[in-house]
């Protein structure tokens, strides 16, 4: 990235307030949540999506062996985050986000640039409520998916009927109905061409 997704001065401002122990043992400091919310919406939502994906990888650590240390080594070269901030955003992802406070400002500037009236439904209170609902839905989805994989319960993917892509080729498929094999059409000769065809068949007759 040409610029830091989370500027270094802001990281230094909140890094000292973060716990040095394993994430989840203490609440996420409000200072970090506020600095994240004051990021430009482009930075906010990109960091939001990336750390969400990494937290989902972490939730499947028993299968993929991706611990916080491994995730840090693989991805932080690009993110350029302080170690304590990375561990907190990934390990305590659900506790870090409270909505982007600068989104309204950027949206208004964009609508002014386009000479378009600003929609009232994008006003600050309604927008924050929408962001909160999205956060709750995503948290419920990720937690239910992690619980299903950890307990060994079947998932929608497991309940999907077998298809030609999922079923081994050497297993015969039983069916109550008789399978009719398509019959190969006999090859037509040139004498079968009908009168509707623009082609005309000439009989091979020796010229007189």
Q: With 60 as the cut, is the pLDDT of residue 25 above it? A: yes
- The per-residue pLDDT for 11 is 94
- The per-residue pLDDT for 141 is 59
Q: With 90 as the cut, is the pLDDT of residue 37 above it? A: yes
pLDDT band of 157, cuts 50, 70, 90: very low
pLDDT digits (tens, 9 = 90+) for 61-75: 999 999 999 999 999
- The per-residue pLDDT for 79 is 93
Interatomic CA distance for residues 158 and 56, integer angstroms: 20
pLDDT digits (tens, 9 = 90+) for 109-133: 988 888 888 887 666 655 555 556 6
Q: With 90 as the cut, is the pLDDT of residue 98 above it? A: yes
Interatomic CA distance for residues 68 and 57, integer angstroms: 10
Give the chain's mean pLDDT.
74
- The per-residue pLDDT for 17 is 83
- The per-residue pLDDT for 115 is 85
- For 71-122, the DSSP string reads HHHHHHHHH---HHHHHHHHHTGGGS----TTHHHHHHHHHHHTT-PPPGGG
Region 9-32: what's the mean pLDDT?
83
pLDDT band of 39, cuts 50, 70, 90: very high
Instruction: Return the minimum-mean-pLDDT range out of 47-56, 97-106, 161-170.
Output: 161-170
Region 28-48: what's the mean pLDDT?
95
- The per-residue pLDDT for 16 is 84
- For 57-70, the DSSP string reads HHHTHHHH---HHH
Q: With 80 as the cut, is the pLDDT of residue 156 above it? A: no
- The per-residue pLDDT for 1 is 62
> What percent of the chain is predicted at pLDDT more than 70?
55
Sequence spans of domains, the chain: 8-140
- The per-residue pLDDT for 18 is 83
Residue 142 contacts residue 59 (beta carbons within 8 Å): yes
């Amino acid at each position: 990235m040409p610029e830091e997704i989370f500027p270094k001065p802001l990281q230094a401002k909140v890094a000292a307030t973060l716990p040095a122990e394993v994430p989840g043992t203490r609440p996420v400091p409000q200072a970090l949540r506020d600095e994240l919310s004051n990021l430009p919406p482009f930075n906010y939502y990109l960091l939001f999506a990336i750390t969400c994906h990494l937290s989902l990888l972490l939730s499947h650590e028993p299968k993929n062996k991706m611990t916080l240390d491994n995730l840090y080594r693989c991805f932080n070269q690009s993110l350029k985050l302080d170690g304590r901030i990375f561990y907190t955003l990934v390990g305590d992802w659900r506790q870090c986000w409270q909505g982007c406070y600068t989104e309204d400002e950027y949206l208004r500037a964009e609508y002014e640039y386009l000479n378009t009236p600003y929609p009232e439904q994008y006003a600050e209170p309604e927008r924050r409520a929408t962001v909160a609902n999205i956060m709750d839905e995503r948290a419920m989805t990720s937690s239910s998916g992690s619980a299903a994989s950890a307990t060994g319960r079947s998932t929608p993917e497991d309940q999907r009927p077998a298809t030609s892509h999922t079923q081994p080729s050497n297993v015969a498929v039983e069916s109550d109905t008789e399978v009719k094999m398509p019959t190969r059409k006999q090859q037509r000769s040139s004498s079968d061409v009908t009168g509707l065809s623009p082609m005309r068949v000439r009989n091979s007759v020796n010229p007189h």
